[in-house]
Structure 1
Amino acid sequence: MAFNPAQLKRIEETIQADIDRGDYDGVNVIIAQHGEIALQGTYGFAERATGRPSQQDDIYRILSLTKAFTNALAYRALGEGKLALSTRVIDIIPEFLGTDPFHMLRKDRINLWNLLTHTSGMPATPNPGLPLTECRLLPDVAKALGSVDVVHDPGTQVNYSPAINHALIGEMVRRAYGHDSFRDMAREMIFEPLGMKDTAFGLPKQNQDRAVPIKAYVDEEGFLRPEDIEGLNEVITEDAELPWVGATSTVDDVFKFVEMLRRKGEVNGEQLIAPTVIEQATTLQTGDMMNDLYTMVNTQMGWEAPKGNIGLGVILSGTGPVPNFFGPFTSPEAFGNNGAGSTLFWVDPVLDVTFVFLSAGVMDEGLNVARFQKLSTMVSAAVV
């Protein structure tokens, strides 16, 4: 198999037309097969308001795409015997249970599997128990979550968690390894082995000049308000950790990470993550359970409710015509992660195709799903 050059050109033209129409501001994209890049493109603006053009080495605040890096740390911990899927949160973070009996109900049942599959029963809120301005250090967040209630029985519903689940995953892994800093642990265990020199939790000072500011084009009455999203420009600083939303990276670094997943954990002949862990992580875990949060998004767009289609931290393509980030023409086994209104990667193991897309300008989430449904379909259709 190879790519149709004419279809790749259509993808570029479509992206440029979207930017010209004002749907978003700019993009860095990579499309590859068998690890070989067929299209790498840079389009539009890093910051439309100032006319600053996009550059290949732009540093993006990748929002919830961050969760993929936190997942990888959990995969290492699983393969190395530091944690098990059955490890309860309170076994590692006892203060999560809290001291108020009215806040303690069902918390003792939440385990790592629940967190990775978004079935913990914790609320689907972007607020992880503290205002984001106070969330820079992970132990502070873990302590605050002791006062947050479970809202439904663990393991019974999929409700995508913007913040809480991956805050807990990050702190569980940090404590399991005994690291003083989650940020430093991620650098040593994931970013440095992969050669991701421009990636960090937080925004290092040396990268600030290349950082793409977050600009939100979302409804004031939506799930996330513009100020909630744009406020992350001030929160994702040099000392921030935020395992759910706080990573910064380039398109080339994200591609290195995604290629590691495509190769089932192998990097330069070394096994960073066990293949069996990657295989289980990219296997459907949530059965026919629906995704409660994205049901709201789909309802607003007039679409059917979507299934959860979640593995261990990754989203799977699944089957059927309900709009999703991967489109209906990727294989059901295609997997990836996304960040609110702006970022996406996926790997299709049947087509052996990798797609990485980082954009400036955060779209309304329903429109974002429609955008990626369109572009992912075009990428799949480029394979001949």
Structure 2
Amino acid sequence: MTTNHSLGIDADRLALLPAAIEADVRSDRIDGAVILVARDGEIVLHEAIGFADRAASKPMQQDSVFVTMSIFKQMVAAAVLQRIDRGEISFTTQVREVIPEYAANGKGATTVGDLLLHKAGLPLGAPGIPPELVGDLEAVVAVVCAMVPQAVPGTSIAYAAVVGHAVLAEMVRRLDGGHRSFGGILKQDLMEPLGMTDTSLGFGLREDQVDRAVPVVVKDHGPALLDPHILEGVGKKAAVPGFEVPSGSAYTTAYDWFRFAEACRQGGQLDGVRILSPAVLRFARTIATGDLTNSLWDYAQNMRGWPAIRADLGPGFYVRGSGITPHAFGLLSSPETFGGLGAGSNCFWVDPARQLTYVFLSAGLLEDSYSWERHQRYADLVQSSVID
């Protein structure tokens, strides 16, 4: 047994993680992945496994560039948290106070907290939004403002994959004065301060990133939460400058995302640069949904025989919580473990009790319930490697 005594990590046990991913690549469940595990800020595992593009026999690299999918919602939340930190808005601020037209059709009482917790009664997809306008933030928000909510805002949880975080992004943009794009705000206020040199939203791919870009390919074309063709289309359009879907069309690398996650683990600062206060981060990663379930997983109860699963959302992050039900952050993780997930693909989490930071970015999207279980298996392998 090989042990990193200073960090309390059993290296032989941790090696089971890349071995498990390699097995999934060999069985063609996924095409490849980049993983990064750190304890107390020190990287103990950073590997590229399998293919960035299986069809082209292109190997994965540690600095491969991925479309973020929905882990980017946590970056959008961070921009909102910055505005709360500055006293410009609060979790209880009604959206109409910043976007007056949002009050239409019974949405007037919707709060910032409702949007962050997926309690705004908004749809899973993007109905009524023409495909050519999906990457136009102002056009998308105009359509959302005219929507009739599917439920009374604040009363139930229904995951909004696209539109909810578009509204949050537009709130940030308007609070900023409307002169910078939302992607520009993130670049200057979050990414550059954190040294995230390969992460961007709405700027397309740089010349030095083109050869490192991982295409979005859906492995499962059966029943799914989101249309595979839409997901693959977003992957292609993300490379075009000006295409801006705040819920998930950004680019990043595993190391870049580690820097964001690590800043969250360290209470909002990294390398002497502070992006958020410890207080707002503590609140953002505290479960605020009680016993409510997330209707996102209703289909899995029927299709997979799953039990009802508590949403366990904080106003900024998914949270592990407790109980024995499927969970992407693993059943061995501490209850306060927090992070984010991307459609059939990416996952990151921070276990503050054990000082663990984990990033997983993958090529080849799985159906979401199977992806959720895959993440659970990988997370538990990481936790099993901790021996102090």
TM-score of Structure 1 vs Structure 2, range by shorter chain: over 0.9
The aligned residue for residue 254 of structure 1 is 257
TM-score by length of 2: 0.94
Q: Deviations over 1:277-308 (max 9, x none)?
A: 00000111101111111232343221111101
What is the distance in 2 between the residues matched to 1:246 and 1:297?
A: 26
Instruction: Say whether 1:365 aligns with 2:365.
Output: no
* Among 318, 323, 328, the residue aligned to 2:326: 323
How far the C-alpha of 1:134 sits from its partner, in A, is 0.9
Q: Does 1:36 align with 2:39?
A: no
Residue in 2 that maps onto 1:136: 135
- Write the mapping of 1:196-211 to structure 2, written as runs, cut at 5 A: 196-202=196-202, 203-206=204-207, 207-211=209-213
Q: Secondary structure at the match of 1:354?
A: strand
Contact 2:194 2:273 in 1 (8 A): no
Change (3 A) 1:162 1:80: same
| 1:115-154 pair list within 5 angstroms | 115-123=115-123, 125-127=124-126, 129-154=128-153
Q: Does structure 2 conserve the Cα–Cα contact (< 8 Å) formed by 1:118 and 1:158?
A: yes
User: Residue 103 of structure 2 contacts residue 109 of structure 2 at CA under 8 Å; is this kept in 1?
Assistant: no
Q: Is the 8 A contact 1:218 1:225 kept in 2?
A: no
SS in 2 for 1:72: helix
Give the TM-score taking structure 1 as reference length. 0.95
Which residue number in structure 1 is paired with residue 109 of structure 2?
109
Q: How many residues align?
A: 377
Tell me the distance in 2 between the aligned counterparts of 1:327 and 1:193.
31
- C-alpha distance in 2, partners of 1:129/1:380? 43
Residue identity in the other structure for 2:69:
L
Structure 1 unaligned residues grouped into runs of 5+? 99-103
Partner of 1:101: none
Separation in 2, partners of 1:7, 1:129: 49
AA partner of residue 129 (structure 2): L
SS for the counterpart of 1:345 is strand
Query: 1:128: Cα distance to partner?
Result: 6.1
Displacement of 1:84 in angstroms is 1.1
How does 1:224-239 map onto structure 2 within 5 Å?
224-236=226-238, 237-239=240-242
**Change beyond 3 A, Cα 1:325–1:52:** same
Q: Which residue of 2 aligns with 1:91?
A: 97
Shift of 1:220: 3.6
Identical aligned pairs, as a percentage? 33
Shift of the alpha carbon at 1:255?
0.3
Distance 2:309 2:298 in 1: 6
Give the gaps of 5 or more residues in structure 2.
1-6
d(CA) in 2 for partners of 1:298, 1:326? 19
User: How far apart, CA to CA, are the structure 2 residues paired with 1:276 and 1:233?
Assistant: 35
Deviations, residues 45-98 of structure 1 (Å, cap 9, x unaligned): 000001000011111001101101101101101001121111111111122234
Matches within 5 A, 1:131-280: 131-180=130-179, 181-202=181-202, 203-206=204-207, 207-236=209-238, 237-280=240-283
**AA in 2 matched with 1:265:** G
Alignment RMSD = 1.3
Q: Secondary structure at the match of 1:216?
A: coil
